[in-house]
Amino acid sequence: MVHHHRYIQLRKVVTVAYVDEEDACVNMSACNKRSKPKLLFFLLFCTLLSSCLLLAPNVLPFPTSPLSLLYPSGGAEETLSDSKSSPCSSVLNGTICCDRSSIRSDVCIMKGDIRTHSSSFSVFLYNSINSGAGEQKVQQEKIRPYTRKWEPSTMATIDELTLIAKKPNSSVTGDQHKCDVYHDVPAVFFSTGGYTGNVYHEFNDGLIPLYITSQKYNKKVVFVILEYHDWWITKYTNILKHLTDFEPIDYNGDKRTHCFSEAIVGLKIHDELTVDSSLTEGGKTIKDFRDILDKGYRPRIQGLILEEEHEKSQLHNPIKPIRQQHGKPKLVIISRNGSRAIMNENLLVNMASKIGFSVTVVKPQRTSELAKIYRELNSSDVMVGVHGAAMTHFLFMKPGSVFIQVVPLGTNWAAETYYGEPAKKLGLRYIGYEILPRESSLYEEYESNDPVLRDPNSVNDRGWEFTKKIYLDRQKVRLNLVRFRKRLVRSYIYTMRKRNENNMVRSQ
């Protein structure tokens, strides 16, 4: 009974949409496109269901799938290298296979003579097998290549591609087979529309799925981007360079016919901000994705260090060693102002310094250069911040370091799902600091027995507008420093112990 009751409760949470920062928009046109607040609908059963889906293929065979009717197995080109759970693990030349089994995204694979036709939002696949008389169109699939399939309102803003397998018209020669650009590597088609403009979404919906989908090609892959934005290319060029050797193609803007022999349309996605090694070719994990960030940002960071050294030498200052191995442990506070700000942040900084940390306050802005934020976090031992999209930067922390997320009232589930759990998968030591009612600015506005303070779940159950209006847009945090101090001291001791262990290993 208890279990049942809880399940109902969880199911209700499911319908709660989740908001994210307005301030994360990099480019105003991307932000203005939707007048609605940035909803981040997330279905709880999605996590439950997706774990079921992972298990399902081992339990249930796929004989009822329409795919198995279209593509009888046993094709000569069957490959065993792809993930077992994918119904499209083997695609015959001249065919399109769409895997629509995931609740998060559809992915279609085409093999053969592939040609883009951007003015009709189509990709053709000319099938010469059995060519001759008969109908022209053999197969047609529609797909919106974005990873938030369970949010119809978001998906409605994404361009839809039509994939058409057809027989070449034998009475026409030459022209219909015109290629403007031949590519001898596969294409990956995806959209940078939707919620692109918010750092959480850029990593969760875009970059990590792009890594999952394309890493097996070892950079021998061309990205074909719908709703292409120059600023997105500029912002992520350091990372893109390590995913592809080729210039990305602006699908809508480039009217030439691009020809490929293999195309993946849509991105695979595993879970929130993570890479599931059991579903990835080569057993890749989120740490491998992080290695790409490290490689990508390294040249820029080294450039910054050289500049700083140069400036120092201009001032005739003696050059100090850049990073002292045995300096104080470093703590970074990811700071917000406005809603979900820490009202006593200065006192927090003082306290952390007294404990023995060297403290840096970072305020990510729309225009912040990610390499600079990476540099701060990659060189730090502890990151502290209040739940919000900027927590996505936990990806920049080294595995083994500490991430303390301050969890305002009413945001427990979201904080754990979007950041806490993924951080643990990266190998961070995660501490979720759930504030007490007295630590919330809402304590001054509501009676102490009001459900807003006493039972946030009941407020969240009333609907998304309430979560947003009460807990996300209007809540600030005044940390109980006595209580919070314990976490910092624990983190300090943990960091010092880890350093000593490393030193002992080194001196052996």
Interface residues toward ligand NAG, by CB under 6 A: 93-94, 112-113, 128, 136, 169, 171-172, 294, 297-298, 301, 337-338, 378, 398
Question: From CA 341, how far away is CA 476, in angstroms rounded?
Answer: 5
Q: Taking CB positions, which residue lies at the least distance from ligand NAG?
A: 338
SS3 183: coil
Residue 508 CB neighbour total at 10 angstroms:
5
How near is the Cβ of 378 to ligand NAG at its closest, in Å? 4
Instruction: Identify which of residues 111 and 270 has a Cβ nearer to ligand NAG in the complex.
Output: 111
Residue 302 vs 353, nearer CB to ligand NAG: 302
Residue at token pair 């083997």:
90
Please state whether 203 falls in left (phi above 0), alpha (psi between -120 and 50) or beta. alpha
Is 13 in a helix, a strand, or coil?
Answer: helix
Least distance to ligand NAG, CB of residue 43, Å: 30
Which residue, 8 or 343, has its beta carbon nearer to ligand NAG?
Answer: 343
How far apart (Å, rounded) are the C-alpha atoms in residues 9 and 126? 51
Q: What is the DSSP string of 80-101?
A: SSS-TT-TTSS--TT-EEEE--
In the complex with ligand NAG, the residue whose CB is nearer, 66 or 327, is 327
Give min distance, CB of 361 to ligand NAG, in A: 11
Residue closer to ligand NAG (CB basis): 296 or 456: 296
- The Cα–Cα gap between 143 and 121 comes to 11
- Tell the smallest beta-carbon distance from residue 461 to ligand NAG (Å): 29
Can you tell me which residue has the tokens 């928009």?
25
Of the two residues 4 and 137, which places its CB atom closer to ligand NAG in the complex?
137
Distance spanning both ends of the chain, measured CA to CA: 57
- Beta carbon nearer to ligand NAG, 112 or 186: 112
Q: Are strands 181-182 and 258-265 parallel, antiparallel or unpaired?
A: parallel
Whose Cβ is closer to ligand NAG: residue 93's or residue 252's? 93
Give me the sign of the Cα torsion angle 497, 503, 506, 508: negative
Which helix (H) or strand (E) is 112 found in, with range?
strand 107-117
CB-nearer residue toward ligand NAG: 378 or 441? 378
Least Å from the CB of residue 293 to ligand NAG: 8
CA nearest to 384, candidates 329, 331, 327 = 331
Least Å from the CB of residue 108 to ligand NAG: 17
Q: Alpha-carbon distance 488 to 74, whole Å?
A: 59
Give the shortest CB-194-to-ligand NAG separation in angstroms: 25
CB of 262 to ligand NAG, least distance (A): 10
Measured CA to CA, the distance from residue 358 to residue 364 in angstroms comes to 19
Tell me the C-alpha distance between 228 and 87, whole Å: 29
Alpha carbons 439 and 81: distance in angstroms, whole number? 53
Residue 228 CB, shortest distance to ligand NAG, in Å, is 28
Q: Which structure tokens are listed for 429?
A: 């030591």
